[in-house]
Amino acid sequence: MLKLSRWLAPSLLAGMVAGSAILPAIAADEEIKRGGTLFYHMVSEQRVLNPALRASNGVYEITGKIVEPLIDRTYDGYVGVLATEWSGTDDGKEITFKLREGVKWHDGKPFTCDDVSFTAMNFWKELLNYSSTLQANLEAVDCPDPHTAVFRYSRPMPLNLLVAAMPDLGHPLPKHLYEGTDLLQNPYNAAPVGTGPFKFVEYVRGQYVIAERNEDYWRGEEYPYLDRIVWRFITDRSAAAAALEAGEIQESGFNGISMADIARLSEDPRFDVGTKGYENNVAHSTIEFNHRNKALADVRVRRAIHHALDIDRAIETIMRGYAKPGRGPIPSAGGDNYTDDVRTYEYDPEKAKALLDEAGYKPDANGVRLRLRHRPAPWGEYTQLWAEYFAQSMREIGIEVTLLTNDAPGFLNGVYRDHDFDTANGWHQFRADPAVSTMVWLRSGAPVGTPWSNQFGYENPELDKMIDDAASELDPAKRAERYHEIQKLAMEELPVIFAIEHPFISVTSKTLKNHHNTPRWNSSSAYDLWMDQ
Amino acid sequence: MSMLNYMLRRLVQAIPVMLIIMVGTFLLLKLAPGDTVDALVGDMGGADPRFIERLRAEYGLDQPVLMQLWIYMTKLARFDFGWSFVHEQPVMTVLMDRLGTTLLLMISSLFFAVSIGSLLGAIAARKAYSLTDNIISTLGLVFYAMPSFFLGLMMIVLFSVKLGWLPVGGIQTIPSFYEGWDYVKDVALHLIMPTASLSLIYLALYMRLMRTSVLEVADLDYVRTARAKGAGEWRLMVHHIMRNALLPVVTLLGVQFSTILGGSVVVETVFSLPGLGELAYKAVIQRDMNMLMGIIFLSSIVVIVVNFLIDLLYARLDSRIELT
Amino acid sequence: MSVLESEIGTAPPSGWSVMWTRYKRNRAAVLGLVLLVIVLAMAATAGFVEPVDPLRRAGDPLVPPFTDWATPLGTDQLGRDILAGIFHGARTSLLIGIVSTVVAISIGILVGAISGYFGGWIDDVLMRVTEAFQTIPNFVLLLALVAILGSSLQNMIIAIGIVSWTAPARLVRAEFLSLRGREFVEAARNLGVGDAAIIFREILPNALPPVIVFASVIMAISILLESALAFLGLGDPNFASWGNMIGAGKAVLRSAWYCAAIPGIAIVLTVLAFSLIGEGLNEAVNPRQKKS
């Protein structure tokens, strides 16, 4: 616990001396300063520091700076990082990546196609959550030469789908460190070796992770600008806010502090507060229905419930304005796949009551029309608030809601396995492409007990077909059209209410420059981040 | 009955207690809905069914409960606490990492609470019913009544943010790599607020108990006799009263070791201290069975030993109690 | 009772008024009683203050206290009236405090008295059981119980009672161990008085004082345990409770500290009330000579 890393001090010192001798290569508007240590807040600890093993924001926030993907997303579109070019055949069964030359792993060995092939077949296809569905049809990755990787699929894979998934799900690992070992128990899973601007130094569980500047970074000697990054684990959000104000941390991402503190610090001239840099990571706050409940199986009841929710007010109160009303399973950050030409439900309690009357649910002697048991998801501060808001709103139209508290395992089992709920709410992330994210809420057929899938007892064969067709449609324009149809149907039928879309929010000290300059900045490498000390 | 006999008997009786605790807790925790994999997957924000199935098989969680219990108990007999899937490390390693922080916090809090609390309690008893007594007593009760996390948060706001005197949390300033005396000072600074938050409640307890005990004993025959004999008041206090008034205080101390670990759960969370309390909370929430069992086993041993010592001390202090 | 007191002439005053006189002497104890009456009054009149539902949206969110007479103490993040929360929360806290304590003390007295009086193997067995419960850190056990049983109010009360009975048991046992060798017990036994009568009529009344003080401790602890559970997000959200309010107020602590501070003060005063009363009772039952 109270460890001293005596060897660390001299090597860090050497690094700093070497680093300060390098002159900045770029003359920008402001004079870029080299050096400095970034203290970054982590509100939860993922413990597995391998982005090819765990797909999770908490993992990317750390490892994204150490391990790089084939492709990353910038405001100019998808750009190659470890890949330089990509193309697909007309039948969609082969996709070829040209890999960057002259890139070395942190231990000095060269990065080649073998690494990509090994990682794709052993990790992306077999072990990485979300990715195994995506790569289910991957048959092999061929290496005609050390810098060309050919992905062969048994069924057509839309190029734009694979490309969109690569920033999160496309991190190659060094084959020479993993081959022949027990992949899950390999110690490098907590001590990552990558090609990125920062090299892993130390991980003290429960406290911090340290990474220092990679002197041989392939983008050039001038990068990265920082000397070091220290990720501090602070689970208590109030303590984290205090640490920000005391200058002990400079960045807290993914809503690491409470909404109230976010609102407060947005008025503080020392901080930049906003949603810029999260366009790739939008999430939805939802209301989920258990369609096995007779009342909720009636679409009029579901529509009535939507009418009783004052979404604008909820956005003001709970999200402090940092959100937009949802228009279906695909959010506005979904690019061409998104449409808002859908049916909407304005806040109208009288209309809600009328719909309930029509469906046959009239108030009893106590004014109660319906009783529902509701499970809030236990992650995120606003899920609890959203649940309480839901209960408040429902009471006004005569629906009595009992809130059940549960922790993560209790929630997952209660909703997804035992189906022991009437309504539930959660937040669900949209991962760049609907096929790998939100469609899973609508398509029937997932085995009982699969978390984060349609366990709601909702089955619509028409919708199922539309989802399958869209997932394998190779023409991007046609694909977009198919998703528009799905969006419209989802808003008509309301199997799930995608009530609010909210991007995540960062609180960043103004001493950091070049921050949040890509749409998935917190998960990305931060090679051009510098500090004005 | 001889002391040795008594000791052996207590030792032998401790074993079934431990067994009851371990088996009982294991089965109790299995009753809780969900398991480690659910918690892990929840933390990650999602996973597909193959991944989850593989994880479950890997962790041996797809086997029947009694089988899992058997495997666990046999390992325990070899002092193998098992592997924590949440921490990806052996349980023993994690426990040893965290033990130091919590012990430090507990000992400094108890020390502070017992010493200052007893002193204040004795003063209050000496000046019983006077204004001093009322002030001290009421102040103690206010400390006792205040939730430790509330106190902790307010202290952070005042001392860390507004005044900047003390660090917000953690056990040390990273990465300053202090050595020797600097290191000790750094840790001490980080422990000031947590110790204060945790100890104030127990301080009030010891204060009240000491006051009650001193008042009770001051009234008894042999004390009155001593006073009548003309022995000085100070000698009276120290030799006769203190010795007997210590009895309930000592009893309570035995109880506190277990309770204070619970108190440290909240304090460690507020101050982000990497201790056993926070570990225990996470272990329940994440259904990290091996970790929780390890913590319970460790603290059980400590508590049993402490209680045993306290009973011995107790018997020596009050010669009228027979250890039948 | 000392020899002096029992021999004073004229008819002795009734037991209750004697106790009350002694109780009144301690001004702090009287304060405690006053506070408790206030809390009881709040619980009783909660229905008048907020007849509909303390959790409903009563106004705009985060209105400060003393600005809007419809919500005199302000509102919280979801626009709920804080005053209504305090009054209705009084009911919840009293319920939790009293019922958990009754459960814990009943079990504790039973186990402690039997164990301390009979000694021998009965003592051994009961002490092992007590030790088992006591050895597990009580908050950890509480967390595990709440994880299993769920966070409903009745289950929380049961869980709190289950983790709290060991301390009174030990205290009672200690007193019994100390008292059973005394002359008056010997005398009673010689007179042929049965064990049960000795336990409950002779020894227990003398063993009670520390238990009474401890009852107030447990009541206070119960309320604090519930608030700690709520702080960690494990309270029952369907009721107005001071613990829930502090938990909710934690998020807005820096900008609207009154959301957490007001229920925090309510908890402090209520716990204070129980403790002061306990102390007063202790002295009323066991009078002391004043040291001048």
User: What is the per-residue pLDDT across A322-340, written as a single tens digit (0 to 9) for each?
Assistant: 889 999 998 888 888 888 8
Eight-class DSSP state of B174: T
Q: Across all residues in chain A, what is the average pLDDT?
A: 87
CB atoms near residue B286 (< 10 Å): 26
Q: What are phi and psi of A185, to 5 degrees?
A: -100, 5
Candidate from C40-49, C144-153, C159-168, C264-273 with smallest mean pLDDT: C144-153
Q: Name the residue among A500, A505, A462, A499 with its Cα closest to residue A482.
A: A462
Q: How far apart are alpha carbons C136 and B261 in whole angstroms?
A: 9
Closest Cα in chain C, distance from residue B5 (Å): 14
Quote the percentage of chain C above a pLDDT of 70: 91
The DSSP secondary structure of A42-75, one letter per residue, reads ESS------TTT---HHHHHHHTTTS--SEEEET
**Closest Cβ–Cβ partner in B98, B270, B278 for A1:** B98
The DSSP secondary structure of C158-208, one letter per residue, reads HHHHHHHSHHHHHHHHHHHHHHTTSHHHHHHHHTT--HHHIIIIIIHHHHH
Q: Give the distance from CA B318 to its chain's centroid.
A: 26
pLDDT of residue B320: 53
What is the number of alpha carbons within 13 Å of residue B214 lying toward its C-beta?
Answer: 24
Asked if residue C29 lies in contact with residue C216, where contact means CB atoms within 8 angstroms, the answer is no
Residue A71, strand partner residues: A80
pLDDT of residue C14: 62
CB atoms near residue C93 (< 10 Å): 28
Query: Token pair for residue A31?
Result: 């004079």
Closest Cα in chain A, distance from residue C132 (Å): 27
- C138 or A528, which is more confident? A528
Closest Cα in chain C, distance from residue B179 (Å): 34
Contact B32/A235, CB-based, under 8 Å? no
Contacts of A511 by beta carbon, 8 Å cutoff, 6+ apart: A250, A531, A532, A533
Strand A370-376 and strand B83-84: pairing? unpaired
Eight-class DSSP state of C69: T
Q: How far apart are alpha carbons A420 and A402 in whole angstroms?
A: 13
Interface of C to A at Cβ within 8 Å reads 53, 55-57, 61, 77-79, 147, 150-151, 233-238, 250-256
| Dihedral angle of Cα A471, A472, A473, A479, to the nearest 10 degrees | 10
Alpha helix positions (H), chain C: 3-6, 15-25, 27-49, 82-118, 120-135, 138-149, 153-164, 166-179, 183-190, 195-197, 204-231, 242-251, 258-285
Q: How far apart are alpha carbons A460 and A493 in whole angstroms?
A: 10
Q: Name the residue among A117, A87, A113 with its Cα closest to residue A101.
A: A113
Q: How far apart are alpha carbons B188 and B195 in whole angstroms?
A: 10
| Dihedral angle of Cα B147, B150, B156, B159, to the nearest 10 degrees | -70
Residue A72, strand partner residues: A79
Query: Token pair for residue A144?
Result: 């005609």
Contacts 24+ apart (CB under 8 A), A22-25: A22/A221, A22/A222, A23/A222, A24/A222, A24/A225, A25/A220, A25/A221, A25/A222
Question: Is pLDDT at A295 greater than 80 in this prediction?
Answer: yes
pLDDT of residue C6: 45
B170/A contact by beta carbon, under 8 A: yes
Q: How far apart are alpha carbons C182 and C184 in whole angstroms?
A: 6
Angle between helices C242-251 and A237-245 in degrees, nearest 10:
30
CB atoms near residue B134 (< 10 Å): 17
Q: How far apart are alpha carbons C148 and C155 in whole angstroms?
A: 10
Asked if residue B258 lies in contact with residue C114, where contact means CB atoms within 8 angstroms, the answer is no
- Give the mean model confidence (pLDDT) for residues C273-287: 75
pLDDT of residue C15: 66
Give the chain B residue whose CA is nearest to the CA of C31: B138
Residue B321: its chain C contacts at CB < 8 A? 177-178, 181
- Give the mean model confidence (pLDDT) for residues A39-58: 88
CB atoms near residue B124 (< 10 Å): 26
Query: Token pair for residue B152?
Result: 């902790």
| Residue A478: strand, helix, or coil | helix
Residue C232: its chain B contacts at CB < 8 A? 266, 269, 281
pLDDT of residue B296: 81
Q: How far apart are alpha carbons B310 and C163 in whole angstroms?
A: 22
pLDDT tens digits in sequence order for chain B, 324 residues long: 567 787 788 778 778 888 888 888 788 777 777 777 777 776 666 666 777 777 778 777 777 888 888 888 888 777 788 777 777 778 888 888 888 888 888 888 888 888 888 888 888 887 877 888 888 877 887 887 788 887 887 787 778 767 878 877 777 665 455 667 777 888 888 888 999 888 888 888 888 788 877 777 777 676 677 677 776 655 666 666 666 666 777 777 766 776 777 788 888 887 878 888 888 888 877 777 778 888 888 877 877 777 777 777 777 766 554 443
CB atoms near residue C48 (< 10 Å): 8
Q: What are phi and psi of C145, to 5 degrees?
A: -60, -45
ipTM rounded to 2 decimals: 0.72
Q: What are phi and psi of C67, to 5 degrees?
A: -110, -25
N- to C-terminal Cα distance for chain A?
Answer: 31
Q: CA of C251: how far to CAs of A74, A318, C185, C231, C260, in Å? A: 34, 11, 58, 10, 9
Give the chain C residue whose CA is nearest to the CA of B308: C131
Selected residue of B29, B35, B37, B44 to mutate for chain A interface (largest A Cβ count, 10 A)? B44
pLDDT of residue A27: 40
Contacts of C182 by beta carbon, 8 Å cutoff, 6+ apart: none
Q: Which helix (H) or strand (E) holds B166?
A: none
Counting one residue from chain B and one from chain C, the pairs whose CB atoms sit within 8 A come to: 170
Peptide bond into A451 cis (omega under 30): no
Judged on CB neighbours under 10 Å (0-12, 13-18, 19+), C155 is middle
**Closest Cβ–Cβ partner in A260, A389, A395 for C251:** A260
pLDDT per position as a tens digit, C231-243: 787 888 888 888 8
Quote the percentage of chain A above a pLDDT of 90: 53
pLDDT of residue B43: 64
**Closest Cβ–Cβ partner in C178, C220, C253 for B145:** C220
**Closest Cβ–Cβ partner in B17, B149, B261 for C137:** B261
Interface of A to C at Cβ within 8 Å reads 237-238, 241, 258-261, 263-264, 317-318, 378, 381, 384-385, 387-389, 391-392, 395, 402-407, 410
CA angle B281, B285, B286 (to 5 degrees): 115
For chain A, the farthest-separated pair of C-alpha atoms sits apart, in whole angstroms, at: 81
- C96 or C149, which is more confident? C96
pLDDT of residue C175: 85
For chain C, the farthest-separated pair of C-alpha atoms sits apart, in whole angstroms, at: 74
A413/B contact by beta carbon, under 8 A: yes
What is the number of alpha carbons within 13 Å of residue B324 lying toward its C-beta?
Answer: 14
- Give the mean model confidence (pLDDT) for residues A124-148: 88
pLDDT of residue B322: 46
pLDDT of residue B223: 66
CA angle A222, A225, A229 (to 5 degrees): 140
Per the rule left: phi > 0, alpha: psi between -120 and 50, beta: everything else, A320 is: left
| Residue A230: strand, helix, or coil | strand
Q: Which of residues 219-238 of C touch B (CB under 8 A)?
A: 220, 224, 227-228, 231-232
pLDDT of residue A48: 84
What is the number of alpha carbons within 13 Å of residue B201 lying toward its C-beta?
Answer: 27
Question: Is pLDDT at A17 greater than 50 in this prediction?
Answer: no
Q: Rounded to 5, what percent of chain A is helix, strand, coil?
A: 35, 20, 45
Asked if residue C108 lies in contact with residue C172, where contact means CB atoms within 8 angstroms, the answer is yes
Give the chain C residue whose CA is nearest to the CA of A241: C254
Query: Token pair for residue A258?
Result: 């409470």
Alpha helix positions (H), A345-430: 349-359, 381-396, 408-416
Residue with tokens 């002990």: A248
Q: Give the distance from CA A278 to its chain's centroid.
A: 9
- A523 or B3, which is more confident? A523
**Closest Cβ–Cβ partner in A317, A388, A407 for C147:** A407
Give the chain B residue whose CA is nearest to the CA of C269: B145
C119/B contact by beta carbon, under 8 A: yes
Q: How far apart are alpha carbons A354 and A77 in whole angstroms?
A: 48
pLDDT per position as a tens digit, A443-467: 887 777 777 778 888 888 999 898 8
Residue A391: its chain C contacts at CB < 8 A? 55
Q: How far apart are alpha carbons A263 and A270 in whole angstroms?
A: 14
Q: How far apart are alpha carbons B171 and A516 in whole angstroms?
A: 31
- Give the mean model confidence (pLDDT) for residues A354-366: 91
pLDDT of residue B242: 65
Question: Is pLDDT at A228 greater than 70 in this prediction?
Answer: yes
Q: How far apart are alpha carbons B291 and C265 in whole angstroms?
A: 37
Global pTM value: 0.78
